[in-house]
Amino acid sequence: MVDQAKKLRDEVAKQKARRPIKVIAVTSGKGGVGKTQVVANLALALREKGQEVLIFDGDMGLANIDIIYNINPPYNLKHLLDGSKKIDDVLFVGPEGVKVLAAASGVQALTTLTQDNKMALMDQLDSLDGQFDVALIDTAAGISDNVMYLNSAAQAVFVVVTPEPTSITDAYALMKVMSTQYGEKTFYIITNQVKSEAEGKAIFKSLVNATDQFLDSVQLWHLHNFPYDEKVRQSITRQQPMLKFDQAGDIAKGYRELAKKVIDLDTNQQKGGMQFFLKQALLSR
């Protein structure tokens, strides 16, 4: 009885000692808006501020984070799911100590995880709880089941949108599905590739007008505005995030500002931490 009581106290103490983690999904209605760039650079900016960061590449079949970082993880999500490797083998240490759980590019089976897949993944990722300050989930674009589950399980949803009309309409469509079918009511908007601050504000205002008119109780926050910069394309070609390619530039400064906002963001632990994320995202049908 004494041993059991001590084990219980030890477990409670362990739970209290765990750092509270912020699980953030970075998503978009369509591809090509710079979503993975946001994840890659934000992770580095958070590391500069002393945060322990995990990137979970949630674009199961078309992984890109390894390309942005110019890394070649020997193992990825596929090896975790087939049981050939454990989580410690699969986690790859990227630039500046960012931990990366890479997906497998070109593996279609990963785009529709089975219940057994989800159980196996949860068992492995469960051990990561308490090791990170921020987990950034780089989702696929669109409104597939995997995207919706990852978004709905995260504590905060960052929606990346550009001035392209289809990006704006698809961002609204994503938020509509999240709101009406998954009960998500708060979204953080990142406007990207805009010509001016005014254009970014106009995009945000158009989304607010649409959600206010057609979606019940949805609240949008304009988290950050990134201008169009030809150097971004150059950094992609050279496989260097902007924080490495142009460290003193406006884009890099913007990511450092965004990192501070993420650290200050009050998620209220309303959905729990990594444990909640795993159970909701990976066990949902």
Task: List the domain boundaries for the chain.
Answer: 22-283
- Dihedral angle, C-alpha 260, 264, 267, 273, nearest 10 °: 70
Q: What is the pLDDT of residues 51-91, one digit of tens each?
A: 999 999 888 766 689 889 999 999 988 888 778 888 888 89
Q: Cβ contacts of residue 126 below 8 Å, gap of 6+?
A: 274, 275, 278
Provide the pLDDT for residue 278.
58
Q: Which fold has domain 22-283?
A: Rossmann fold (3.40.50)
Supply angle C-alpha 203, 190, 267, rounded to 5: 130
Q: Of 133, 128, 130, 147, whose CA–CA distance to 57 is shortest?
A: 147
Q: What is the pLDDT of residues 7-62, one digit of tens each?
A: 555 554 554 455 678 889 999 999 999 999 999 999 999 999 999 999 998 887 66
- pTM, full prediction: 0.86
pLDDT band at 285 (very low <50, low <70, confident <90, very high): very low
